[in-house]
Amino acid sequence: MSDHTAPLRNNALLDVRNLAVEFRIFQGVVHAVTGVEFDMHNGEIVGLIGETGCGKSVTGFSLIRLIRPPGRIVGGEIRFKGVDLLSLDDLQIRRIRGRELAMIFQRPMSSLNPLFNIGTQLTEVIRLHRVHQRKAARRLAVESLSAVALPDPEGILGKRPFELSGGMQQRVMIAMALACDASLLIADEPTTALDVSIQLQILKLIRGIVQQRGLSVLLISHDMAVIGSMCDRINVMYAGSIAEAGPRDRLIRHAAHPYSQALLKAVPELNRSEQGRLVAIEGTVPSLLNPPAGCRFAARCPRVHDRCLQKVPSRVQVGPDHFASCFYVASTVEAASAGHSTNLPNAGSLGDAAKNPKEDRC
């Protein structure tokens, strides 16, 4: 694969190259992730968007080496602060997890041990990674709870998980993840299980922490409004690989890959006119058990050619820091701008919607 980002690689916080993850099951080998490449810098929010089963969560889990059997990382490189995470032994990776690389999950309601109060669980993490004395750890726990804007942090320390709402629990999870000053947070659909008004609060909180601490966030979501409002750069995933990657505004305005274009057409908008109906993407995601030979989007692509069915397209640069894996990028970009006025949401309107995801979803 061509490597246009070579100059950036040295100072990247996270650099993922050619990642491949397989699940060996009874029916055969599922190629959940193939050839995923992206990088992240300090203080950046990078989005990973795609539909269910496209491998975005698997990618997130591999970064922190949490893929469980029958899953296995079979190839590639994950460089975090220059260290290849895939070459570390169990003890070394454990020291990085929670201390430098933290992750929050989809269901905050079941992410805490129901038996113990918040204080016990929070100080446990702090004592594991940062300070050993109980008192100091407790002080840090209070600090980290106030950092996630929870009222009465002292009181919350004494509460059990079931006494908190879903939004509060997700705040506690963020506090736990950041209690040891991690420099990269992987947020796997952090707001999917929460109701929309709470979603907005949590997203604002994450953005605020990024601005305050220079934290980097990998935001995984299937929701274009969330990704569009939060991220500096966006990676669009399809069937286990990255279809398109680029800066937020460019990608939304000038999507080059037919899949990203279709995805953007499927975003609902409040002020959409009668003619601008929501467009669904025809067909279904190909099985990753026996993936098709050529481009994985070929079966659903409106601009499919013979070549697409035989060869996997390589990454092509389509603009500054903007890449797409498609043979016919140039023609699709033209086609997209031609069809722009009719059914592609323009970046302006999505930007508005993005600033207010609550309104967008109602």
Report the candidate in 133, 135, 163, 157 with the shortest Cα–Cα distance to residue 144.
157
* Interactions with another protein, residue window 148-167 (CB under 8 A): 158, 160, 163
Q: CB–CB of 76/19 below 8 Å?
A: yes
Beta strands across the sheet bearing 101-104: 101-104, 184-188, 216-221, 45-49, 233-238, 241-247, 322-325, 315-319
- Rounded to a whole number of angstroms, the minimum distance from the CB of residue 94 to another protein is 5
Q: What are phi and psi of 258, to 5 degrees?
A: -55, -30
Residue closest to 177 by CA, chosen among 110, 64, 100 = 100
In this chain, which stretch among 23-31, 42-50, 121-129, 206-214 interacts with another protein, using CB under 8 A? 121-129
Closest CB to another protein among 216 and 332?
Answer: 216
| Binder among 81, 97, 207, 303 for another protein (CB under 8 A) | 97
Any contact of residue 253 with another protein (CB under 8 A)?
A: no
Within 66-85, which residues bind another protein (CB under 8 A)?
66
Which of 4-12, 107-115, 213-221, 316-324 is the region at the interface with another protein (rule: CB under 8 A)? 107-115
Cβ-contact 45, 217 below 8 angstroms: yes
CA angle 284, 286, 292 (to 5 degrees): 145
Interaction between residue 112 and another protein (CB under 8 A): yes
> How many chain residues touch another protein (CB under 8 A)?
30
Among 51, 77, 124, 352, binds another protein (CB under 8 A): 124
Under the binding rule (CB under 8 A), the answer on residue 279 touching another protein is: no
CB of 88 to another protein, least distance (A): 12
Helix (H, G, I), strand (E, B) or coil at 76: strand
Q: How far is the CB of 69 from another protein (least distance, A)?
A: 9
According to the binding rule CB under 8 A, does residue 64 interact with another protein? yes
- Of 35 and 161, which has the nearer Cβ to another protein? 161
Report if residue 301 touches another protein, rule: CB under 8 A. no
| Among 23, 38, 80, 105, interactor with another protein by CB under 8 A | 105
Single residue of 19, 20, 58, 176 touching another protein by CB under 8 A: 176
Q: What is the CA radius of gyration of the chain?
A: 21
220 binds another protein (CB under 8 A): no
Among 20, 54, 102, 147, binds another protein (CB under 8 A): 102
Find where tokens 């041990």 sit. 113
Q: Is the dihedral of CA 71, 74, 76, 78 positive or negative?
A: positive
Handedness of CA 169, 91, 81, 247 (dihedral sign): negative
How many CB atoms are located within 10 Å of the residue 138 CB?
18
Q: Does 30 bind another protein (CB under 8 A)?
A: no
Of the candidates 72, 99, 130, 361, which one interacts with another protein according to CB under 8 A? Answer: 99
Residues 6+ apart with CB under 8 A from 213: 178, 181
- The residues, any chain, with a CB within 8 Å of residue 206's CB and separated by 6 or more, are 45, 174, 185, 187, 190, 217, 219, 230
113, 197, 211, 331: which one binds another protein (CB under 8 A): 113
Q: Is the CB of 112 or the CB of 243 nearer to another protein?
A: 112
Q: Within 13 A of 178's CA, how many CA atoms are on the CB side?
A: 27
Q: Which residues bind another protein (CB under 8 A)?
A: 64, 66, 94-99, 102-103, 105, 107, 110-117, 124-125, 128-129, 158, 160, 163, 173, 176-177
